[in-house]
């Protein structure tokens, strides 16, 4: 199974997935200069970089992405810090084959700055969710969740590090599980 990882920034989850031995064939990135691109290059993984502002519409750049995905014979899309909502064009082409990781126990704290939202709410437990992507923001069917305790006195940076440690273990394992399900014909 060939995987495309979509990332917009640092690419630490991309790195964890590659290090776990997944067949990542392509990195799709909407931010030229993102560190994830350097990570891909260091592993000899092809990158496709685009800037949405260079396209007339989301549908146009998603068609371009689909052409690249088809060229690389991609079976599964793994979002890893990709900071854009997936539109109908890509959702239809890869229905049931797009997963995302989110740094909270969804449905709590969807969207941007989930860790900051959790800290501001004063919760004692946050966590990580891996889910299938649908047309909403962090609303797709949940595949797995892992809690992370927030201790009194923890800083945002400390909680972020705790959550990333869990992400880097959980996401590669779930990617492998989804691949095995797809191989057996199990679709969500």
Q: Annotated catalytic, 102?
A: yes
Q: Given CA atoms 90, 95, 98, 99 in this order, what sign does their dihedral have?
A: positive
Segment 118-122 long-range contacts (CB within 8 Å, at least 24 positions apart): 118/150, 118/159, 119/150, 119/154, 119/156, 119/159
Pairing status of strand 24-29 against strand 46-49: parallel
34-57: b (≥16 Cβ within 10 Å) or e: bbbbebbeeeebebbebeeeeeee
Residue in 43, 102, 131, 168 annotated catalytic: 102
Catalytic residues: 102
């Amino acid at each position: 199974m060939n995987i495309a990882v979509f990332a917009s920034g640092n690419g630490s989850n991309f790195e964890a997935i590659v290090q776990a031995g997944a067949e990542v064939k392509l990195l799709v990135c909407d931010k030229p200069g993102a560190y994830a691109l350097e990570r891909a290059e260091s592993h000899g993984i092809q990158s496709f970089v685009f800037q949405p502002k260079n396209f007339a519409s989301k549908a146009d750049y998603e068609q371009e992405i689909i052409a690249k995905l088809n060229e690389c014979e991609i079976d599964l899309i793994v979002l890893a810090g990709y900071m854009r909502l997936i539109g109908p064009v890509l959702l239809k082409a890869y229905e049931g084959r797009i997963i995302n990781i989110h740094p909270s126990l969804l449905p709590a704290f969807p969207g941007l700055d989930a860790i900051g939202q959790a800290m501001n709410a004063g919760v004692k437990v946050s966590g990580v969710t891996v889910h299938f992507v649908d047309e909403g923001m962090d609303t797709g069917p949940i595949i797995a969740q892992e809690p992370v305790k927030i201790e009194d006195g923890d800083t945002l940076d400390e909680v972020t590090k705790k959550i990333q440690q869990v992400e880097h273990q959980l996401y590669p394992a779930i990617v492998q599980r989804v691949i095995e399900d797809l191989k057996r014909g199990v679709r969500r």
